[in-house]
Amino acid sequence: MIVEKLEMAVKILEQSPEFAEIIPEVRSNIVMARKNAQTIQDVAGIPGRITTVNGLPKAVAQPDYGASSHMARLVLSMMKHDPKKRSALNIKYHPHLVEICKKLGLIVSSYDRNQEPEDVKIKEGNSMSWGVEMALASCGTIPDVIYHTGGWGKEPMIVLVGKNPEEVAQMAVCLAKLFLTSKK
């Protein structure tokens, strides 16, 4: 069921040339965790991520479990606070995208990667959990959107969080369309 939901979400994204405009340099990934997920292997994502081919978003491979450790760790951290928030998608950071999210009434929070403690930085896999905890502490609730403006060697990023991948994909396409329309 989770793989099928991700396949549907990928179709939504691949049919949106607008979404291609908000794919970050590191590419996008969309994930969904099993109920009661505990490890990265309990989270399905897109191996190789979602890239851009001829101006359109394109998933490099079919969804599979354990395909995205980075986004999986984010979702696992979110689920500790809200087990229903089992899906996430990363998009490029732009301040105007953050403003659109706020205007849409989404709960938006951020964290500063430059404030990341050294003991967190040096242990592989700890940054995402730390970032989620900082974003939650900052807004006092479970956000729909978490962003950071980058750090040494880290691309600025926005992550959309939701209950399922179709919801998150539709949110991303909506944001992309509003973003491109407002730039004209």
- 10-residue stretch averages of pLDDT, the chain, 184 residues long: 97 98 97 97 97 96 95 95 96 97 96 77 70 90 92 87 98 97 77
Cβ(37)–Cβ(86) below 8 Å: yes
**The pLDDT of residue 50:** 97
Select from 3.40.225.10, 3.40.50.720, 3.80.10.10, 1.20.1090.10 the CATH code of 2-183.
3.40.225.10
As a whole number of Å, the CA-based R_g of the chain is 15
**The pLDDT of residue 124:** 58
Please report, for residues 14, 31, 41, 45, 66, the alpha-carbon distance to residue 60 in angstroms, rounded to integers and kept in the order given. Answer: 11, 14, 19, 11, 15
Of 151, 125, 13, 147, nearest to 73 by C-alpha is 125
Strands 50-53 vs 30-33: parallel, antiparallel or unpaired: unpaired
